[in-house]
Amino acid sequence: MTPSSEPTFLKVVLTHFVPCFFVGAILLLAAKQAGLPDLLPQNGVGDLAGGALNGLAVAGLITVFHLRRNLTARRSAIGRVPVSRAFIRKAALAGFLGGAADVLLTTGSWTVLALSAIIWTILIWNLRAFIRRTEIMLRPGSVITWEDVGELLRIYLTTLIGFTLVNAALDGLHILAGAPPAFGFPDNGDSLVNALYFTVVTMTTLGFGDFVPRTGDAKGLLIIQSLLSYFMFALMVGIITRGVTGKRPSDRE
């Protein structure tokens, strides 16, 4: 990665926040299932301590991920480019922010609504990046690399994770407001896991029907989610079937 192509911190946050937020939520859930001390908000100092500890854990995981990715890239024969140390520092800070934000999930309906708005904003940015990148790759004569395919897959997975969080948040908001649940995920502490399962089933068009949208806003969200997943999946299949090369011609010189 050259200095001129070094992404800004804002771009790193936009690409890392949603996955890191999800990883942080999984860490909290795993800690709870393992019987470890509850890191969820405890008011005042407990909020800050729990958020900082979870943020540090996610920052450590994202740092290890990129270090291992760099090691794999140096050994790879398909043209992967290692990321810089500056990028890893930015990614670690983005991971800390995402992990720390998880403790806000149970502080109240307004906080959950604000987090959902942030996730929606990031999803829209990633979808725009997906459309721009696919438009370039579908041009006649364009050369598609595995790095391009990897970036499309990253955006697709970010979209899946983002919808998982939004689905879980919508169901939780209904419960907090005393309204009928949006999807009716079982109240057994695994709402995030159930939301992930529901999102994967929806975006892969399996549609088992064990969870269904029960309210108007949930049905509207499902319509958007289904159409976007069809659109993204079809474009990725079209791009891959055009053929993928290891490196761009300029990279081989």
pLDDT at 187: 66
- Global pTM? 0.83
Query: Which domains, and CATH codes, for the chain?
Result: 7-107 (no CATH), 108-245 (1.10.287.70)
Residue whose entry in the numeric block shows the structure tokens 């393992």: 34
Say what percent of the chain tops pLDDT 70: 85
Q: Is the pLDDT of residue 250 over 70?
A: no
pLDDT at 157: 92
Q: Are 141 and 130 in contact (CB under 8 A)?
A: no
Q: Which helix (H) or strand (E) holds 37?
A: none
Q: For residue 181, what is the DSSP state?
A: P
Mind giving me the DSSP string for 174-211? HHHTTSPPSS---SSS-HHHHHHHHHHHHHTT---SSS
| From 3-7, 85-89, 198-202, 233-237, the region with the lowest mean pLDDT | 3-7
Say what percent of the chain tops pLDDT 90: 43
End-to-end CA gap in the chain: 17
Which conformational region is residue 79 in: left (phi greater than 0), alpha (psi within -120 to 50 degrees), or beta? left
Q: What are phi and psi of 245, to 5 degrees?
A: -110, 160
Q: Which of 147, 130, 13 is nearest to 81 (CA)?
A: 147
pLDDT category at 50 given cuts 50, 70, 90 is: confident
Q: Which of 179, 207, 183, 209 is nearest to 195 (CA)?
A: 183
pLDDT at 3: 45
Q: Are 55 and 24 in contact (CB under 8 A)?
A: yes
Q: Is the pLDDT of residue 2 over 50?
A: no
**Cα 108 from chain centre:** 23
The encoded tokens of residue 217 equal 């806003």
Q: Are 84 and 1 in contact (CB under 8 A)?
A: yes
pLDDT at 16: 95
pLDDT category at 72 given cuts 50, 70, 90 is: confident
Q: What is the mean pLDDT of residues 79-93?
A: 88
Q: Is the pLDDT of residue 77 over 60?
A: no
* Better-scored residue on pLDDT, 155 or 76: 155
Residue whose entry in the numeric block shows the structure tokens 């391009």: 148
* Better-scored residue on pLDDT, 158 or 41: 158
3-class state of residue 145 by DSSP? strand
| From 45-49, 126-130, 180-184, the region with the lowest mean pLDDT | 45-49
